[in-house]
Amino acid sequence: MFKPERLEKWRRIRKLTQEELATKINMTKAAVSNYENGHSSPSGDTLAALADVLDIDTDYLLDRTDTPRHLNQLKYEGNSDETFFERKELIEMINKASSEDLADLKIIVKRFVKEK
């Protein structure tokens, strides 16, 4: 069964408004609001689009699992969902860096971690 509170939670974690999410899945803001309020449930295609945009799996949105797929794979124990996405964002930025920039970043991170 579709869990509307999970949709809202992950939309907020991803820092999306209802309107932004609606645009990404080619729906209206009202449709997203109805999903989040439990007034309606998304179709299979829409559910898949929501999961793709939020970077979670449909089983989580359907209450078949308590932990989203990506969190199972990447989350460090003791971190909140928000911390997970902050780390993921850093990893995405690092992946875009040049080889030279990576060497500099490594030095900076080592110094920063030592100071803590």
In the DSSP assignment, the letter for residue 66 is S
Q: In the chain, what percentage of residues exceed pLDDT 90?
A: 48
> What region does 15 belong to: left with phi over 0, alpha with psi -120 to 50, or beta?
left
Indicate if 60 and 108 belong to the same structural domain. no
Q: 56, 44, 80: which is closest to 7 by C-alpha?
A: 56
Indicate if 81 and 69 belong to the same structural domain. no
Structural domain of residue 108, as residue ranges? 76-116
Indicate if 62 and 7 belong to the same structural domain. yes
Binned at pLDDT 50, 70 and 90, residue 115 comes out as low
Grouping H, G, I as helix, E, B as strand and the rest as coil, residue 97 is coil
pLDDT greater than 50 at residue 74: no
Domain containing residue 28: CATH number: 1.10.260.40
Indicate if 56 and 12 belong to the same structural domain. yes
Tell me the C-alpha distance between 52 and 8, whole Å. 15
Between helix 44-54 and helix 4-13 the angle, nearest 10°, is 30
pTM for the full predicted model: 0.62
pLDDT greater than 60 at residue 73: no
Binned at pLDDT 50, 70 and 90, residue 49 comes out as very high
Sheet strands (E) in the chain: none
Indicate if 3 and 41 belong to the same structural domain. yes
Question: What's the mean per-residue pLDDT of the chain?
Answer: 85
Tell me the C-alpha distance between 26 and 37, whole Å. 19
